[in-house]
Structure 1
């Protein structure tokens, strides 16, 4: 049996999409959650000095989106055709572009920036970027008309974006009552039968 070990902090963050892919595939994995102190000790040994890291029978894979794609393709959540796979990858790239803006706020929460700094990042960086990001997602949902971002079945792109919307809801960048189509999409993913029980039981974290 293949041994999977996912190493990340004790938070949802960039590891949660991988965790949910394991849940969907009914595949056991070692969920190795680090404290900040443990990460600092481990950091020099990591391929790029960062997490998440997925270890597959000792073979290390770094970079969150690469890990997601690897698991999605292995477990059948990458898309049904090469075109669907490309679309899913593209949506995740849009998410990663937005994340570069969100980090100005999210990292501030983690590393203790002042409220003034957080408010400035919110208004000047993240809120404008979120509007562009939401527009891309809504156009894609309108295009598919299935409730999913790609084709007619759940893909890793849906999971990654829904997880991100949970974070944006927690941090008050996403207001479901104002974004009906995104709210409907978000709820659809959260109610995926294999995920619902896991999501209801998981430990809460803002990010």
Structure 2
């Protein structure tokens, strides 16, 4: 059996979708969480000087969405054909767009620039949320009409973006200090469904003990 090790920072952000996916797919992995103080001594050893990385049998892979896409394919969460896969990629890229905008605002240290970035982020966020809300509503509660997956006795049409939004919205909610999905009931219900899945619930419970 292959040995998996995912390395990222203690916060969720771009490493969390892969943690969700690995957990849901039943792939055992070593969950390495670095602190900001530890990061400088590891940075030079990273393929592109960034995290996350995924090590499989001591071979290192990088780029967060490439890693998540690989895991999604292994778990049949990447669509039933090339058209569905393209829809998934487009949805994931849109999620990344708004996550990046929110992240740039959050990490900016210059107060003048930070205020401008915050204004831009808060202007853009409702547009993305409304689009995502409509997409989920039009797809009967999921981002994409994917293959039927089974979690104990319930059937779900799950795909990679469902897990990604559950992870990303958690981070965005942290930045906003409120639930980003609170005014978007379809998104809120989807995130609750993802977090209630047995393997995701078990991961979140375990995560709370190691953070």
Q: 2:128 is matched with which residue?
A: 133
Q: 1:14 is matched with which residue?
A: 14
In the alignment of these two chains, the number of paired residues is 200
C-alpha distance 23-190 of structure 1, shift in aligned 2 (>3 A): same
**For 1:57-206, what aligned pairs fall within 5 Å after superposition?**
57-108=57-108, 114=111, 118-122=114-118, 124-145=119-140, 147-152=141-146, 153-172=157-176, 174-203=179-208
C-alpha distance 71-149 of structure 1, shift in aligned 2 (>3 A): same
The alpha carbon displacement at 1:68 in A equals: 0.2
Ranges in structure 2 where 5+ consecutive residues have no aligned partner: 147-156
**Preserved CA contact (<8 Å) 2:84 2:144:** yes
TM-score, structure 1 as length reference: 0.85
**Preserved CA contact (<8 Å) 1:104 1:125:** no
Q: Quote the Cα distance in structure 2 between the aligned partners of 1:70 and 1:84.
A: 16
The alpha carbon displacement at 1:103 in A equals: 1.8
For 1:151, what is the secondary structure of its paired residue? Answer: coil
- The CA RMSD measured in Å over matched residues stands at 2.4
More helix by share: 1
